[in-house]
Every structure is written in C-alpha cells, then in structure tokens.
Amino acid sequence: MKKLIAGNWKMNGGLAANDMLVKAMLDGLKGAEPAADMALCVPAPYLAQLQSLLQASPIAWGAQDVSAHEQGAYTGEVSVSMLKDFACRYAIVGHSERRQYHGETDAVVASKAQRALAAGITPIVCVGETLVERDAGQTESVVKRQLAAVIHAVAHCTSEIVVAYEPVWAIGTGKTATPEMAQAVHAVLRAQLAAATQHPQRVHILYGGSMNAANAASLLAQPDIDGGLIGGASLKAADFLQIVAAAR
C-alpha cells in the first residue's frame, strides 16, 4: 500500500496564492512516478479552484470538515453532497481545532465520518490527546475512545476510513512526537482496527503534528505510520514535495 500524504491548509490561502502553490507542486511532480498518494484539504470556497487545477493530476483534493446533517436549516454548514459536486475524495473530520474551538464531540465526529462514507467520500478521522491527557497517562484511552465512536458508527465500513493520529500538543507548535512515541500510538490504533475489521492493514494511519521535510523520513519509516497529515508544511511546495519524497 502506498503511503498517503495529505495537506491541511487550515484557514489559509487566496485565489492567487493557491494557484501559485498548486502549480509549483505539480511542476515539482513532473516526470517521476509520485512516491506516495497525495491530497490537499482546502477551505471550502477553494474547492472549485482545486478541482480545476488538480483534475487529471496525481493529487486528490478534499475538505477540512463536513456537516453531520444531510441538508436544510444549518447556516454556515457544508453538506457531503456539496463536496461531491466538487468531486472531493476526502474530508477531514474531528480535527482537534474543530473539537477544541467548535465543541465537536466524539458523537458528532462519528456522524460526520458516517455521512461522508455513505456519500463515497473518505473521512480522514483525527484523534489525539492533549498535553494534559498525555501527562496524566491517558493517551491510549483518549485515542481509543475517539476512534471507537467512529468504528461504532461506520461498522462494516471501518476499513474504508483513514485515521490521523495528531497529538494536540504537536500541532502547529514545532514539537513533534518522536517516531517511537508516534509508532506506539499507531500500534494501539492498528490493534483497535484489527478488532473491528478483517483488513486493518488497508487502513492508512497518518501521523500529524509538525511533520516537516526534516523529520518526515524517520516518522514515515515506522511500521504503522502510513503517511502524514501536514499543516504548515503543506503551504510550501518544496516542503510538501520533500515529505512526499520521504514516503518512498
């Protein structure tokens, strides 16, 4: 299975800047078979632009969130069918910034994952502990609780999700989990998936949290790290491409 390197632009970008960034990525990929599968998860208003720039390219695109509701009176929300209109392949669900700043519970995240899968969009389900939880020895129980809610909701489709382990204390802070720390949690998640699906090896378990061109290779060399969810470094073409190359 090829590794998956997914960018999360968060609330960054603009029409002109996106055009330059994506074209620089595509230029850098010319001529060689990409070392990994790739995706860019961008703010919803730019999905049409990414669709036009990336169709017929090796980079897929997706959203950073999706509504748990089908349609109707949910001001500001974006539905799965709207994401489908722009041929999104992925939607991040349960990013820690959504859990933290928008009060998303495990149950809400699970409904979003279920809604995405039912529409044929692969949810990238984020799990991860805060520093307080890590220090209290709760890392394993927190990530297992977060993933269990999603497994319960998607049931026999568990092998179709992507999981991203993102320790909250490592996101955007420059502090990365060591490869050994990340691998230990990934192994816990793999075992949990193995109890829920016959094909746990088919599930990409990504690491996210200050992954960059310098530390990607050692993280991606771990047996249960199947790719990366990349925030800051996905805003620079050269850095993103170096991470992709490190996934070989």
Footprint on this chain of ligand PEP (rule: CB under 6 A): 8, 10, 166, 171-172, 208-211, 229-233
H-state helical runs in the chain: 15-29, 47-54, 80-85, 96-101, 106-118, 131-135, 139-154, 179-194, 216-220, 237-246
Reading the block at residue 143, the tokens are: 């990530």
Which residue, 127 or 233, has its beta carbon nearer to ligand PEP?
233
77 flagged as catalytic: no
Reading the block at residue 204, the tokens are: 């990409």
Cβ within 8 Å of residue 137, ≥6 positions away = none
Measured CA to CA, the distance from residue 88 to residue 2 in angstroms comes to 20
Q: Look at residue 127 and give its three-state secondary structure.
A: strand
Q: Which residue has the closest beta carbon to ligand PEP?
A: 231
Handedness of CA 202, 207, 213, 217 (dihedral sign): negative
95 flagged as catalytic: yes
Which residue, 182 or 196, has its beta carbon nearer to ligand PEP?
182
Which residue, 89 or 240, has its beta carbon nearer to ligand PEP?
240
- Burial of 102: CB neighbours in 10 Å, binned 0-12, 13-18, 19+: exposed
Please tell me the total number of residues recorded for the chain in this structure: 248
Per the residue annotation, which of 97, 104, 129, 166 is the catalytic one?
Answer: 166
| Rounded least distance, CB 124 to ligand PEP, Å | 9
| Rounded least distance, CB 168 to ligand PEP, Å | 10
Strands 122-127 and 162-165: parallel
Which residue, 123 or 232, has its beta carbon nearer to ligand PEP?
232
| Rounded least distance, CB 210 to ligand PEP, Å | 4
Cβ within 8 Å of residue 157, ≥6 positions away = 117
Per the residue annotation, which of 95, 97, 133, 186 is the catalytic one?
Answer: 95
| Rounded least distance, CB 87 to ligand PEP, Å | 22
| Rounded least distance, CB 231 to ligand PEP, Å | 2
Which residue, 8 or 146, has its beta carbon nearer to ligand PEP?
8
Catalytic residue IDs: 95, 166
